[in-house]
Structures are given as C-alpha cells and as structure tokens.
Structure 1
Amino acid sequence: MPVLQEPLDDASYAALDWVSLVGEEGDGSAPWGLASKFFQQARRLEGEGLPLQSQAMQVLGGAISMHLRHPSHAPFGPVFQSREGRSMSMEDLGEHDVALLARAAQDAPSPWLRARFSDLAVTADGSTPPDWRLGRLAVDAYLEYIASVFGTEHAIGGLDELQRSLVLLWVYAKKDHALWDRYWAVILDEIPHSIEKNWPGLVFRLCDEAISRNRHACEAILPQIEAKALALEAESPQEAARWHAQAHRLNQRLGKRQEATASIMAQGEAMARAAELAAEHQPMLGPMHMTEAISLLRKAKANPSRIQELRDRLATYERASLDHYGQISAKTDVSDWVKWIDEQLSAPDFFSALLRMAYRAGQWLNVEEIEERVRLNFAKHPLSSLFTATHVNSEGMVVSQRPPLDLNDPTSVRLYAISDASQTDIPMRSSIMVSRAADTLYTTYQPSFHAIKEIVEASPITPVGQTETLARGLFSGFIDDWLAASVYLIPAIEPFVRAQLKRSGTHTTGMNEDGTQHEKTLGELLDMPEAERFFGKNLVFELQVLLTEPEGFNLRNSYCHGLMSDRELQNAGIMSLWWTLWRMVLFPWHDHPSVLVAPNSTQVAPDGTGASAAGIK
C-alpha cells in the first residue's frame, strides 16, 4: 500500500531538510543506520502533527533500507521479514512515493543515494515510455559510486550495484559507447586489485559479467586468471583448480577449444595434487578430490595410463579413509511401540496375523511428510544442509554426493528426503517392527514354506513364473535368513514391478538407436508417470529408497552389479523390502475383516506410523 496518499508540495519538501540527515553514511556503507535516522525523524514529525512530512520521511528511509537483490524484474526487496511483517519493499511504492524519490534523486548529496533513489523511481514507476533522463541519472550515479569503491578495501560492496547498473546501462545508454568504455575500464582496473587481494568471489563474478557481455574484456582478463592459477598450484592446488575452471570458461567464450581443454587438464591435475595433500592430512577428503580429478582428466581426454594411475591411487585413498570414519549411536526406548505391534498382530490364524503385519503394523513411507520434515530440520539446523555431503560404500569409494539443500528445488528436497528415509525411517521400521513381527509370526504359527507358497500363488498380484522365487525369499525372512531373502527378492522386484505396469497397459520397453527395443531398468520404470499413477507416489518413493537411489540403499544396483558382500546383504533395507513385498502380494486382501481396526483399537503406532489399510497406493 502506498505511503504518501497525496503529492508533497514544494514548501513541505523544502521543510523536510532531509539532506542534513545524511552525513557520512550516505556512501552506502551502513544503509540501515542511515534509514533509522529517517524513521526517527518521521516519528518526531508525526508527533508534531505533520503527517505528510512524516510519511515522506518514511518513504526516503524505506528506500534507503531496501535490500538490492539484483534480479531485473524486482531488484529491491525488504531488508528483513518476520511473522509480524516486513520492512518496505519496492512493491509498496505508489505514484506519489515515486515522485518524491525522483525529486530526491536530483538533490542527493552522494552517488550511492542518487543511484538508489533514481533507480527505485524509474523501476517502481514502470511507465511506458520510461523516464530516460531519470534512468540515465541512475546509470551515471552507479558508475560514480562503483569507481569510488573499486580499488579499495570496500570493493566487494560495489558488486551488487555494478551488476544492477549494467542492466540499466543496457536499457538507458545502450548506444553510448563512451559510457560503456568507462564502465569496463573500472571493471578491468579492479581485476588485478582483487587478484592481488585474493578475492576470488569478486573476481569470478566480474568474469561472469565479462563472459556475458564483453568479449574483449575476456581477452584482457584471461592471462591474469591463468597466472593466478599457476601461482596457487604449489601451495593451494584445490584453489588453483577453481581458477583453472574460470580460465576454461573464458577460453570457451573466446572460442579457443585447445586452450579450453588445456585448462580442464590443468584443473584435473590440480585436483589430483589436492587429493595427495588431503590423503596426508584429511584422509576422508582424498577420495572425493581424486574422483573429481579423474572425471576432469577423462573429460580432457588425458592419457589412459595417467587415468589408470590415478584410479589405482584412488583405491588406496578409499581404503585409508575407512580408518577415519566413526559411528554415533543413541539409545531409544521402544517398549511401547513393541507392545503396540504385538497388539496389532494378535489374530486367530496365521493368514489373519500376516495381513495385520502388512496393513496394521506399519505403512509405506509418506514422501510428503518426510519432505516436510526435511524443511523443518533445515529451519532448525540450517548449517547441517549447507555443505555437500558425500556417501561412500564399505570400501571408502565415493558413490554419490549430495549438494547443499535448495528448498526451492523439488529435486533437491526429494534427494534429502531419500537420504533421511534411508538413515532414519527404514532402519527404525526394520529393526523394530519388521524384526518383531517376523519373529512373533514364526514363533506363534511356525508357517511352512508350502504355506507361504500357497499364499503367494493365490495372489493375483504375483507375476507369472515368479511364484517359487518370491515364496522362497518371503519364507527366508521368517526364519531370519536375510541373506537368502536378499538373494531371492532383490532380483525379483524388477519383473514384479514390470508385470504390474504391463497389466495396467503401460509400455515398459524403450527404443535403441538401431531400431531394436530393450526392457527398461527398474529405475526407469519407477520414474515413469504411469508407475506413480498405478502404485501411488508413496510406494514408488519407498521402492526408490530401497532399490535404485545411491542416497538410499540402492539394493538392486549394488547387488546385481556384484558390489555387496554377504555381510552387507543383511541390512535394514532388505528387511523393509521383505515387508514391502508382503504388503504388495497381499493387496487383494487389504480390506479383509482381519485388517479392519476395531472401534476402540489404537490406530496410531507409538512411532507415529498410521495403521490404516491404504492398498497398493
């Protein structure tokens, strides 16, 4: 909502005397402190019965306080937000507010204020055609401010203003080649200063602007970047790799393919040296650096013998890194949960108890709840998700890397949800519910293999030709032979899923380039939209966590490629897969009377899992 409800006349504007409040803080070094002066003056004027002048002071103070966030569509946002509200944003400015800022821009005593007021006035107004004189005033003022801070200890403070000014420069002075030259002269003068100060954050962002806007600037910057990379190689090879990466981008922009490849090669060799140093002092980082080095050198088509040499060294680093991993454990009282499980399994016969295990003792993972938990955990512990996380196997080999969490990216949130489910939900379910249920049912009813096979054969869900395999795997879980269960069930899940999709009319084949067809892998099948429509998003998520995702248990890929030892096959993932397959096989009876919860029965497990029968979905 606009602050000024009517225009400010000349006499009222002159009486504001706002310029006297600016002082030395008008250089943009402490915008909130300066804005506070204006807000205090606004309260004083309101107390004196001058509401219009008070509102004008609020507009000026609010404009000073705004955070410059650079996107061209809405470059100014509130400096803070809370449950009670937020500070002023560009969207709050109305017609009279913009007119006041345009007038104040002409009188501003410093280039930073002049740029801020004129930019806000011309951007918030949104008039067509735009005010060319006001826009040009902003461009000139920005350049004056940037030139005053570049080359000083406060150079980084002018970076956002530079990026914003280049947007305005393209709009309001596109054909003024002299002004363009002045801008780039200031930028190119700052490059050696930032390199000398070792400020890669500033240098690299200036490189981004050069790559996007000025080929000649790239030619001037490239030799300086390469020289800095070479200077860092001996003492800081990982940092040198970052500079080589920038050199690669600049070479690509200039169309120098051989030089760009050489930059990738140098980046890879620098990461190999970083791995050597890490292996001595930070063994857990050695495999990560070496993996990246090998990837870069392969991209640069390095000599195969060099690649093999580094792969051999990687295996050594992986084995050494295992000695530095520790374990964290905590005790949890689950006696109430165990008691609740026993209550749910109480039934007059084996089949009824089996149905209750599948549809009352637990439920599949709830992807929405886990993703919401990821968001809440990030809000409580933001530092825990701000860095790349590395997932290694039992040999210390890096099998996946999880980048920092981005709450605005659904793929990133899902990746963290997969990791969270595999580390928390699945182990808890397997070690308590599945273990207790399997032991209780076998001890109480002692089902034979033939009884299990009869149930599997009776289920219309069971794929043709898979009865024996599934029955053996499911029976093995009851006798606590999880090694046998994994050997039978992991390979069986892919044809199981494929059979269900084919029954729903889904095409499960893909086309090769030579015109032949191939059956899609389990990962490809679960990624199909038809899979979520048929199985439901929770079951698809569960199967991905258990079978196909590197951040999860990845049972299918690891086992079928021979990457799991006998000991590793006996884990929480296979126990949950056993229970999940029982739930799928028994789906035709999910609404059996034995499953229905009595009116006075507890419907929520102590761990929070629901017990209602949701069927295949």
Structure 2
Amino acid sequence: MAISTLNFTLTDFKEAKWEHKTLEGQAPCYHSLMRSLQDLSKMKSEAGLKEQADALVLIAQVASMRLSPDKMNEPLQPLFIDYQNDNRAVAPEDFSKEELEFLESVLSVVTDPWLKARIADLLWISKKPKDPSFARKAIDAYVSHEIDISTWEFDVKHCYARALALCRQLKEWERFNKIKNKLLSNINSESNENFRIVVFIANFVHEQGIDKDDAESIAIVLKAIGDSCKASQNFSLARDCFAIAAKKFEQINSKTEWAGCLFEVGRCFQEEGELREESQNSIANSLYEQALQAYRRVPKALRSPYDVESQLNKVQQKMEETGLATLDEMALIKTPTHDISETVELSRKHVSGKEKPSEALRYFVGIFPGFKYEKMIKDAEHQMKNYLFSSLFGGTHFSNDGRVIARVPAASLANDDSSNNQKVIERNVLQNFGIESQVIIQGNILPSLNQILLEHSIERELLVSACYLSPIVPENRHELLGYALWLGFEYEFGNAIHLLSPQIEHIVRTSLKEAGAKTRRSDENGITNEIGLSSLLELTECKSVFGEDITFELKAIFSEALGFNLRNNVAHGLLDDNSACQISSVYAWWFTLKLVLKSI
C-alpha cells in the first residue's frame, strides 16, 4: 500500500470534516473509528472528492489494526492474516515515510482520543529515529477514556494496558502512578454502585501487578460485593468477586480468609445448581461439577469451619441425579461421508447463541466426542482384511524433512494374530486417525471456533481461571497453560503447541505419580531422571488413570511416529513456521482445551 508521493494533504483531511460517529447503541471503539472513516471516505469518493477520500482511506487503515497490548514489540497487529493465500491486512511496517509525515501533521490537529492515540502510537513504533513525545501523547490519549461498564470491554481496557506498557518502557513513573491511582479509585470508591466494573478493574490491576500495596483493601471490598451479589442470587458476579478476593487474600498470606473465599465460590456454584435443577438438568449438573472442584480447592486443614466434607457429599449426590436426567437433553452431530457442508452448519449452530463465553466453550469442546479406540481397531482390522493390496506390502514412512521415522512390515495371510499384522493394524489406526481428525477440524472445530469468535471475545483470564479450577492442571501451571489455550483463540496455534506439548507431558507425569506409578528411572550411578512422555504413556497405570480412549489420543497426538508426534517435533525443534500451524497443532490445542474443561 505504500506509495512514493501522496495526492492529498492535511488540508484535504480538514476539509473532509470527519467526526467519530458510532452506530445507535454502540460505544466508541476502534471498530467504530474505522467504520466512520470508511463511511465518510465512500461518501467523498461518490461526490468526486478523490483527495479527501484517499486521505480518509489511509487513516482508516491506521485505525483498522488490532491493539494487542500484551505484545510489547508488535502491539499493533493486522486486522486479519490469510495464511493460505499469503495475504494480510495493513501492519505498521507498511506505511511509507511520506505517509508517516502526513499522519504526524494529522496528529497536530486531531482531537478524538481514539484516533489521537492510534496515530501517536504508530508514529512511536514506526518513525525513525524514535521520538518519545509520540509515546507520551499516546499514553495521555489512551487514558483519557472514562472507565465505564459500557466501554471497558470495548477496547478501553486494552487502551489502559497499552498505556501502562508504554509507561514502563519509557520509565514514565509519574504518568504510571496517575493511571494506577485512577484505576484503584474506581475499586475503592463508595459511590461506585456498578459491581461489575469493580470486578473488571480488580481483575485488570491484578493481572498488571500494580495493586500489591492495596491487596488487602481490594480483597475486603470484593468479598463484601460477593456477599451482596450472592444474597441477590447474582451467582456469576458473586463467584467472580470471591475468586479474585481469594487471590488477593492468598497474596497477603491470609489463609483463613483465602479458604473462606474458595468455599464461597463452591457455594455459589451449588446454590445456582439447585435453582437450575428443575428445568435445566444439564446446566445444573455442570454447576455441581464446578462446585465439587471449587470445594476441593479448599485445603483439608482449613475445611472444618466450613463443613466442606458434608458439602462435597451433597454435591456428589446431586451430580448423580442430574447426570441421569441430562441424558434426554443431549444432542448428536453426524458427519456426512463426503460433503461436510451440513456438518459445518450444524457445528456453527451447536455453539451459536450462547449467553456467555464460558457456556460457548463448554459446547465447543463437546462438538466431537473423541476417538473410540476399540472402534478404531475394528475398522483397521476390517481395512487390513478387505483391502489386501495395501496390506500385502511393507512400507517405509518418512518425515517432512526426509528422515525415516517408521517401517511397517507386510501383513501375514497365514496368522491373524502375528506381530506383523498387529503393526499393520496400528499403522492403519494412526493413518485413519490423521485423516479423520482433518475432517473433524475442517467440519467441526474450525467452523465452531469461528462462530464463537464472531459472538464472543474470549479473554485470556477466562482460560487461566479454567486451568485454575481444573483438577488435572498441576499447581503453578494455570497461568502458563491458560495462556497457551488462549493463543488458539488468537489463531496462534504454532505458538500454542510449543507451550502445550511440555505441559501435557507434565500433566501426564503428575497424574501418574498421584496414581502410584513410577515415573523415574535410576542408572547404575544412582542418577535419577524423569522418563519421557512416550514411555509414560506405555505404563500400565496410564489406561486406568486416563482411560483407553484418551490414552490412545495422547499417543496419536504427541508420541507416535506415525501419528502427529508433536512432543518430539517440538522438543527437537522440527516444526517450522508452516508445519507448526497445521491440522495437528489445531487438534492438539482443541484436545487439550477439552481435557481441561471436561475435568471441571
């Protein structure tokens, strides 16, 4: 898009008389900024005012970039990236020197804080040599937005996060402290009657790590709000309050209060389950499951004052009752043999129209029930016996970089139980797994993922919270695993798989240790080492811990040479930019998300 000479000037922009207009009911955000510029550009073009239209097109491209404050080096991302066609929307490096100079002139006259922050940030990132004054102007514009429940989730949160990041980068501590105090004042203000915005900001300042000196006061405020919301049966908001309060009490080492907040999270799940039980058994069952996991988070030494053991027994009984009643509410999605268009549409409908992101995710991980190992074996045996030509010859299998990764012998017609036949069957199982998983990705997972992202914004903290609640995620791993799962909702499957593979291995090792399996080996010198994932999955305890079907999928995805073999490919740096984002990574990401969410 860069051009050597511009056909427009600052005067053309001024004469266009642009205003940041939003649609009815829409809060100002970067989408409304881009749309208002595009709409006016179209009007000017139709009126024959080409210079004004072109000036507005350039500024609309500036507004189109996604703000990703967690990415310090690339905070302004293209609106879309089409990997298949090697195409993307505009990025900061696409703007020419002349275009940046024009934008600098626009910055001197623009008053809209959204556009002012975007242009100033782009100039700070792209103009050489770097001029800190642009970063300071961006900071001031970013934090000029009022903190309000209707706008916080629509880019304002990202604006404050980017402002804090810039302050840290420039060591602008005076500005940093002003932003911090402005945020904290919205938590502690007695006049703030909107509990939801208090929760949003409390979560934000916790993530940013700027509330350590105020942890106790924030915890007290949130606990009081949680009590009030619970009394009015606003259980979702109450849970959020108690969950964040628990983090703050843990931060200040107040164990009794911490345990109490963990218990209240469980009580909120249980009481809401009791309300939903008569009409919505499937939802009630899910709430009881989450109550069970929440109660288990309370340390055994601190359970007595809250009668946690009694509540655990009640919830388990409720789970059995609602579980049986849920069977009538379950639906089945069938995959056509060839044309998957019907499956694509059903998958979209399966996750569409859900009120909350968490509900959409529950449906998302239920889009495919998983591979059934016994059926896979029967299909592979049938394939070997009825399609003899492909089985009568041995085969050598190569990796993408030309290495021999497996050799499979020819089938034996004389002995159905021969070791050769078993290897052929195993080969067929893994090949079928690869083919069927591709159909599942294209027909089920990606369409439903796209639908969810059209309707919801999946925040990183939602995935981190899910990992925190999951009984299969070991301690001190919820932030890392939650971030890896969140990357999938950003379509960054390559980055996700490099984080997920070692974490899956740690989950398997930890689960097997808890079951009494020996996960270490000592050599002749007494040196003890942990055994790898491939060996862990071969332990006899594995099937009793994970079940036959999940054990098979873990092998097929992470450790089998004829499967996706992602653990070894990641560990040895064998995934390049293209292979890291293939079907295997997408399925591995979804499978891990399913394991975590199904466990809670």
Q: TM-score range by the shorter chain?
A: 0.5 to 0.7
Structure 1 counterpart of 2:133: 133
Match of 1:90 among 92, 107, 111: 92
Q: Which string of whole-angstrom CA distances, capped at 9 and with x for unpartnered residues, describes residues 422-477 of structure 1? A: xxxxxxxxxxxxxxxxxxxxxxxxxxxxxxxxxxxxxxxxxxxxxxxxxxxxxxxx
CA distance 1:323–1:272, change in 2 (3 Å): closer
Following superposition, the deviation at residue 118 of structure 1 comes to: 0.9
C-alpha distance in structure 2 between counterparts of 1:200 and 1:101, whole Å: 37
Question: Does the 8 A contact of 1:35 with 1:62 survive in 2?
Answer: no
Question: Does the 8 A contact of 2:219 with 2:246 survive in 1?
Answer: no
CA distance 1:229–1:169, change in 2 (3 Å): same
Q: Which string of whole-angstrom CA distances, capped at 9 and with x for unpartnered residues, describes residues 253-276 of structure 1? A: 455455434433443444454455
Structure 1 counterpart of 2:172: 174
Following superposition, the deviation at residue 139 of structure 1 comes to: 1.9
C-alpha distance in structure 1 between counterparts of 2:38 and 2:336, whole Å: 51
Aligned length, in residue pairs: 436
C-alpha distance in structure 2 between counterparts of 1:33 and 1:61, whole Å: 8
Structure 1 counterpart of 2:36: 34
C-alpha distance in structure 1 between counterparts of 2:178 and 2:316, whole Å: 53
Corresponding position: 1:365 with 2:437: no
Following superposition, the deviation at residue 162 of structure 1 comes to: 1.4
CA distance 1:319–1:260, change in 2 (3 Å): closer
Match of 1:223 among 208, 220, 226: 220
C-alpha distance in structure 2 between counterparts of 1:93 and 1:545, whole Å: 58
Structure 1 residue identity aligned to 2:120: S
Structure 2 counterpart of 1:20: 16
Structure 1 residue identity aligned to 2:230: E
Q: Residues 161-240 of structure 1 correspond to what in structure 2 (within 5 A)? A: 161-172=159-170, 174-176=172-174, 180-181=177-178, 184-185=181-182, 188-189=185-186, 196=194, 198-199=196-197, 202-208=200-206, 212-216=209-213, 218=215, 221-234=218-231, 235-237=233-235, 239-240=237-238
Any idea what SS the aligned residue of 1:74 has? coil
C-alpha distance in structure 2 between counterparts of 1:17 and 1:384, whole Å: 37
Structure 2 counterpart of 1:409: 496
Q: Which string of whole-angstrom CA distances, capped at 9 and with x for unpartnered residues, describes residues 396-430 of structure 1? A: xx996999784453389779x99xxxxxxxxxxxx
Question: Does the 8 A contact of 1:115 with 1:137 survive in 2?
Answer: yes
Match of 1:341 among 385, 404, 407: 385
C-alpha distance in structure 1 between counterparts of 2:14 and 2:541, whole Å: 61
Structure 1 counterpart of 2:59: 60
Match of 2:533 among 505, 527, 533: 527
C-alpha distance in structure 2 between counterparts of 1:507 and 1:187, whole Å: 48
Following superposition, the deviation at residue 62 of structure 1 comes to: 0.9
Question: Does the 8 A contact of 2:78 with 2:90 survive in 1?
Answer: yes
Aligned-residue RMSD, C-alpha: 5.2
C-alpha distance in structure 1 between counterparts of 2:381 and 2:325, whole Å: 35
Structure 2 counterpart of 1:471: none
Following superposition, the deviation at residue 332 of structure 1 comes to: 10
Structure 2 counterpart of 1:3: 2
C-alpha distance in structure 1 between counterparts of 2:133 and 2:160, whole Å: 19
Q: Which string of whole-angstrom CA distances, capped at 9 and with x for unpartnered residues, describes residues 38-65 of structure 1? A: 65489679996x6xx8765443221122
CA distance 1:78–1:46, change in 2 (3 Å): farther
C-alpha distance in structure 2 between counterparts of 1:543 and 1:385, whole Å: 38
C-alpha distance in structure 2 between counterparts of 1:134 and 1:93, whole Å: 16
C-alpha distance in structure 1 between counterparts of 2:14 and 2:203, whole Å: 35
Question: Does the 8 A contact of 1:102 with 1:121 survive in 2?
Answer: yes
Structure 2 residue identity aligned to 1:527: L
C-alpha distance in structure 2 between counterparts of 1:286 and 1:175, whole Å: 44
C-alpha distance in structure 2 between counterparts of 1:361 and 1:170, whole Å: 58
Question: Does the 8 A contact of 1:378 with 1:385 survive in 2?
Answer: no
Structure 2 residue identity aligned to 1:228: I
Corresponding position: 1:250 with 2:248: yes
Structure 2 counterpart of 1:590: none
Question: Does the 8 A contact of 1:194 with 1:203 survive in 2?
Answer: no
Question: Does the 8 A contact of 2:45 with 2:53 survive in 1?
Answer: yes
CA distance 1:200–1:323, change in 2 (3 Å): farther
Q: Which string of whole-angstrom CA distances, capped at 9 and with x for unpartnered residues, describes residues 36-94 of structure 1? A: 1465489679996x6xx876544322112222222322111222344663332223223
Structure 1 counterpart of 2:157: 159
Match of 1:547 among 529, 537, 543: 543
Structure 1 counterpart of 2:68: 69
Question: Does the 8 A contact of 1:241 with 1:266 survive in 2?
Answer: yes
Question: Does the 8 A contact of 1:225 with 1:244 survive in 2?
Answer: yes
Structure 2 counterpart of 1:351: 415
CA distance 1:95–1:213, change in 2 (3 Å): farther
Question: Does the 8 A contact of 2:117 with 2:139 survive in 1?
Answer: yes
Structure 2 counterpart of 1:445: none
CA distance 1:290–1:253, change in 2 (3 Å): closer
Q: Which string of whole-angstrom CA distances, capped at 9 and with x for unpartnered residues, describes residues 267-290 of structure 1? A: 344445445555565342254133
Following superposition, the deviation at residue 120 of structure 1 comes to: 1.2
Any idea what SS the aligned residue of 2:302 has? coil
C-alpha distance in structure 2 between counterparts of 1:16 and 1:202, whole Å: 41
Structure 2 counterpart of 1:121: 123
CA distance 1:311–1:57, change in 2 (3 Å): closer
Question: Does the 8 A contact of 1:271 with 1:290 survive in 2?
Answer: yes
Structure 2 residue identity aligned to 1:508: R
Any idea what SS the aligned residue of 1:409 has? helix
C-alpha distance in structure 2 between counterparts of 1:343 and 1:151, whole Å: 66
Which has the higher Rg, Structure 1 or Structure 2?
Answer: 1
Any idea what SS the aligned residue of 1:508 has? strand
Structure 2 residue identity aligned to 1:131: D
CA distance 1:358–1:22, change in 2 (3 Å): same
Structure 2 residue identity aligned to 1:159: K
Question: Does the 8 A contact of 1:230 with 1:240 survive in 2?
Answer: yes
C-alpha distance in structure 2 between counterparts of 1:32 and 1:239, whole Å: 33
Match of 1:108 among 107, 110, 118: 110
CA distance 1:194–1:413, change in 2 (3 Å): farther
Q: Which runs of 5+ in 2 are unaligned?
A: 23-27, 338-377, 393-410, 464-469, 474-480, 506-516, 561-600
Structure 1 counterpart of 2:478: none
Structure 2 residue identity aligned to 1:222: A
Normalising by structure 1, what TM-score?
Answer: 0.56
CA distance 1:203–1:551, change in 2 (3 Å): farther
Following superposition, the deviation at residue 231 of structure 1 comes to: 0.7
Question: Does the 8 A contact of 1:111 with 1:142 survive in 2?
Answer: yes
Following superposition, the deviation at residue 296 of structure 1 comes to: 2.1
Following superposition, the deviation at residue 3 of structure 1 comes to: 1.6
Q: Which string of whole-angstrom CA distances, capped at 9 and with x for unpartnered residues, describes residues 491-523 of structure 1? A: xxxxxx99xxxxxxx983499xxx9999x9xxx
C-alpha distance in structure 2 between counterparts of 1:411 and 1:252, whole Å: 30
CA distance 1:351–1:331, change in 2 (3 Å): same
Following superposition, the deviation at residue 136 of structure 1 comes to: 1.9
Any idea what SS the aligned residue of 2:108 has? helix
Q: What percent identity do the matched residue pairs reach? A: 13
Following superposition, the deviation at residue 378 of structure 1 comes to: 1.8
Structure 2 counterpart of 1:456: none
Q: Residues 267-306 of structure 1 correspond to what in structure 2 (within 5 A)? A: 267-274=265-272, 276-277=274-275, 282=281, 283-298=284-299, 301-303=302-304, 306=307
Q: Residues 491-530 of structure 1 correspond to what in structure 2 (within 5 A)? A: 508-509=521-522, 525=531, 527=533
Structure 2 counterpart of 1:424: none
CA distance 1:385–1:34, change in 2 (3 Å): closer
Q: Residues 452-467 of structure 1 correspond to what in structure 2 (within 5 A)? A: none
Question: Does the 8 A contact of 2:120 with 2:137 survive in 1?
Answer: yes
